[in-house]
Amino acid sequence: MRRKDREITDINSIKEILGECKVMRLGMCLDNIPYVTPVNFGYELTEKGFVFYFHCAPEGKRLDIIRQNPNVFAEIDNGGMLTSAEKACGWSCDYKSVMAMGTARVITENAEKKHALSLLMNHQTGKDFTFEDNDLEGVCVVAVQISEISAKARITKK
């Protein structure tokens, strides 16, 4: 990371940023052609590190790519806040962001799907939900095991 003064390494601070954000941009690549899509997400921190979860339709471009190349990149940010200045070059943006590399896999077992969807819904709504097997029909759930994660912030003091 070039700007070490903006780097965030504390796991609790990274979790705080993730908690503020609802959308993850998922980057994938197939045949040297990049594809990025926004997804709602949930996450957990396990003994193996962070795992991000998202859901999607049981077929489509995103799954076609993941099945052929499971290597993905995630970008999550709080949307930023434009900061003004007297001169044009002084304008900037305050932000908090997380970037992560990982490996995606489609979850096939119902118990794991229910767990992932519960985490996703709690992250998105702050509420706990339970799922029945028939709730899982027509939805695909993907887990992204994170292998590298970094976080960064720029916050001006007011």
CB 106 within 8 A of CB 62: no
What average pLDDT is seen over the chain?
89
What global pTM score does this model have?
0.89
| Partners of 92 in beta bridges | 83
What are the pLDDT digits (tens) for 47-83? 999 999 999 999 999 999 999 999 999 999 886 666 6
Question: Strand, coil or helix: what is 54?
Answer: strand
What are the pLDDT digits (tens) for 101-131? 999 999 999 999 999 999 999 999 999 999 9
Give the model's pLDDT for residue 77.
87
Give the model's pLDDT for residue 103.
98
- Tell me how far the alpha carbon of residue 112 is from its chain's centroid: 18
What are the pLDDT digits (tens) for 144-153? 999 999 988 8
CA distances from 149 to 1, 49, 101, 109, 142 (A): 11, 9, 7, 27, 18
Q: Specify the number of domains making up the chain.
A: 1
| Of the listed ranges 4-8, 15-19, 29-33, 83-87, the one predicted with least confidence | 4-8
Q: Which domain holds residue 132?
A: 4-154
Whole-angstrom distance, CA of residue 54 vs CA of residue 7: 26
